[in-house]
Structure 1
Amino acid sequence: MEPDTTPTPLQALPEGRFSGRADFTEMIRQAFSAAAQQGWREIIVCDPDFEDWPLGERAVVQALNDWSKTGRTFTMLARNYDEVLRRHARFVTWRRTWAHIIECRANASAPADDLPSALLGPGWVFERLDLQRCTGMAGSEPARRVALRERLHERLLKSSPAFPATTLGL
């Protein structure tokens, strides 16, 4: 019996509106899984504090491990990373291991509603438009991707390095 050499079909990501915390967290899981499967070269994530992102889940960290390769970049932007440190221990360990491909930035002076809650990949994006109800839009339309990239770039220019991989003491 010969081994199955049929290629695995690429994972399709959701398009259109999403609503509710369950949809939101599942979309994040799917996005990181697709990034690993499709070999995305760049991921940018932004949220005021990443409190309700499933970054600490074993499946998410495994997908990020699978995604991590030379030439890849992962950029995070937040007001602060206190909730990441408090709630997402697996992610903090992953960040330490892959510090050379991860850039974490903060803009503590920005109002919380000034930072989008979004994920930007090379061919797909999502943005949570209402943080309380976890509603928003996802899609692969070029106009949506360009508009979000420009907004994130503008906020990244106003940010500074944050969330160091290691803390050195005297």
Structure 2
Amino acid sequence: MTETPRAPIDSRQAFRAAAIALASAADGERAPVEWWWCDADFADWPLDDPALIAALGAWLARPGRQLTLLACGFDELVRRHPRFVAWRQYQSHRVLGRQVAVDASQMPTLFVARAPQGFEVLDRVRWRGVWFDGADDWRQRREIVDALQQQSVPSFAATTLGL
């Protein structure tokens, strides 16, 4: 795997660029890989950006790939990111949504990629975050993800049924 550019995460735009950069990083691995994204509602993620959708599509094209979205709710994501929602209809078996039973203020903003890469936004007011690429830091974030998953239920249906 090639090294992901590590521009500082010090603004909303830098956060959006970090998400696209990490999703777009070349991944020569053929092994199964799971990514976890955590956020209260994903409203501020660049999910409608064509570059991110293309990067996700390329990443998911390899066997054994799965992206799990952990959120307090998906209503804002559905309202703000219609391109991502439409794209996900065809990827729902590999892009899972889970609703977490925690207060939105307690929900971290995380992108946990292949060990040991990822980033976390620590201050959502000033959009300050940190990259992590050490095994211990990655393991700590995975433990957070595991705890959140234990408090979650499947959500974010790919289609809605109507009468």
TM-score normalized with structure 2 length: 0.90
Contiguous gaps of at least 5 residues in structure 2 = none
Q: Answer yes or no: is the 8 Å Cα contact 1:125–1:144 preserved in 2.
A: no
Q: 2:118 and 2:69 mapped to 1: Cα distance?
A: 15
| Residue 139, structure 1, aligned to residue 132, structure 2 | yes
What is the aligned counterpart of 1:117 among 106, 109, 112? Answer: 109
Given the superposition, is the C-alpha separation of residues 91 and 39 from structure 1 closer, same or farther in structure 2, using an over 3 Å criterion? farther
Write out per-residue CA displacement over residues 31-59 of structure 1, whole angstroms, 9 at most, x where no aligned residue.
1101xx21572110000011111011111
What is the aligned counterpart of 1:53 among 22, 42, 45? Answer: 45
Identity percentage of aligned residues: 34
| Alignment correspondent of 2:119 | 126
TM-score normalized with structure 1 length: 0.87
| Alignment correspondent of 2:10 | 19
Q: 2:2 and 2:112 mapped to 1: Cα distance?
A: 18
| Alignment correspondent of 1:98 | 91
**Count of residues in Structure 1 that have an aligned counterpart in Structure 2:** 158
Computing the radius of gyration from Cα coordinates, the structure with the larger value is: 1
Q: Answer yes or no: is the 8 Å Cα contact 2:4–2:22 preserved in 1.
A: no
| Residue 38, structure 1, aligned to residue 27, structure 2 | yes
Deviation (angstroms), 1:113: 1.9
| Alignment correspondent of 2:162 | 169
| Alignment correspondent of 1:151 | 144
Q: Which amino acid aligns with 1:100?
A: H
Q: Answer yes or no: is the 8 Å Cα contact 2:66–2:95 preserved in 1.
A: yes
Write out per-residue CA displacement over residues 93-136 of structure 1, whole angstroms, 9 at most, x where no aligned residue.
121111111210002x4111211100001130111011111101
| Alignment correspondent of 2:74 | 81
Q: Answer yes or no: is the 8 Å Cα contact 1:39–1:67 preserved in 2.
A: no
Q: 1:52 and 1:94 mapped to 2: Cα distance?
A: 18
**Matched residue SS, 2:5:** coil
Q: 2:93 and 2:4 mapped to 1: Cα distance?
A: 29
Deviation (angstroms), 1:79: 0.6
Q: 1:47 and 1:39 mapped to 2: Cα distance?
A: 28
Deviation (angstroms), 1:11: 4.5
Deviation (angstroms), 1:13: 3.4
| Alignment correspondent of 2:54 | 62
Q: Which amino acid aligns with 1:43?
A: W
